[in-house]
Amino acid sequence: MIKFFRKIRQRLLSENKFSKYLLYAIGEILLVVIGILIALQINNWNENRIKDLKEIAILANIHKEFKQNKKQLDSVVYSHKIAYRNCGKIISLFPILSKPEPAVLDSLSFQLFNSYGGVTFNPSQTSINALASTSSFNIIKSENLRGLLISWKDLITDYQEEEVESSKHMWNQYDPYLSKHFDYNFNFKDERNNFDALQTLEFEYLVRTRRDLLDQILNSTGELQKVQETLDQIIALTKPTNN
């Protein structure tokens, strides 16, 4: 092809057809420019195609991971609600007698056992960590999704503060008091149980504080609701189009 164009140029020059040669040269330059533009367009198309495929793979990983996170959060919230509800039932019995009726004891045994909970939300963040470590957030086209993923860690940190406080109180104050006076499984048939401990202001204070801290997780601060809404949004925005 190059030899063909060279022969044309030489023939036009030898025939002193300068004007035709000039038009030919311009045409040849235009062809070269068009060829370069086409090559660049194809290259850009290939790069965009590679980016699109990479984004699809990243979104699929995020979608799968956050669906699992949602399942975990639902389980954690369920545990918190059980503990919160049982603390409320215990509080409704105050003041508790030193030797309650057998029916009350049976209910109280169940309620104390289920007032613990203690499960915390620790979501998987592998996909977000991978994006952060490679500075690849910009590969995600949706600005809304990008913002949600970037702010996710801070949102979880804020939410977990309430869970940490609740857990500290439970293991540092609530459990030590109960373990000092009652059987491990709250088997009230064990004669070693100290039912006088149910009458103390300390016990009432501990149960009320336990319930208040659970209320902060579930209702008061609104952090849980933000996490739930963000989870739902991320799952919806990363849903594969073929599903």
The C-alpha angle with vertex 199 and arms to 197 and 203, in degrees rounded to 5, equals 65
Question: What pLDDT sits at residue 11?
Answer: 58
217 within some domain: yes
Pick 86 or 50 by higher pLDDT: 86
36 within some domain: no
Domain count, the chain: 1
> Residue 170 corresponds to which amino acid?
M
Burial of 111 per CB tally in 10 Å (0-12, 13-18, 19+):
buried
Question: What pLDDT sits at residue 17?
Answer: 52
153 within some domain: yes
Contacts for 56 with CB less than 8 Å, ≥ 6 apart: 240
Domain that holds residue 228: 69-237
Q: How far apart are CA 22 and CA 19, in angstroms?
A: 5
User: Which of left, alpha, beta for 135 (phi over 0: left; psi -120 to 50: alpha)?
Assistant: left
Residue 171 has pLDDT above 60, yes or no: yes
Q: How far apart are CA 91 and CA 96, in angstroms?
A: 9
Per the CB < 8 A criterion, the answer to whether 217 and 80 are in contact is yes
Burial of 243 per CB tally in 10 Å (0-12, 13-18, 19+):
exposed
50 within some domain: no
51 within some domain: no
Q: How far apart are CA 234 and CA 148, in angstroms?
A: 7
Question: What pLDDT sits at residue 26?
Answer: 65
219 within some domain: yes
Residue 10 has pLDDT above 80, yes or no: no
What percent of the chain stands above pLDDT 70?
83
pLDDT tier for residue 241 given thresholds of 50, 70 and 90: confident
30 within some domain: no
DSSP 96: P
* Most confidently predicted of 42-56, 93-107, 152-166: 152-166
Residue 22 has pLDDT above 80, yes or no: no
53 within some domain: no
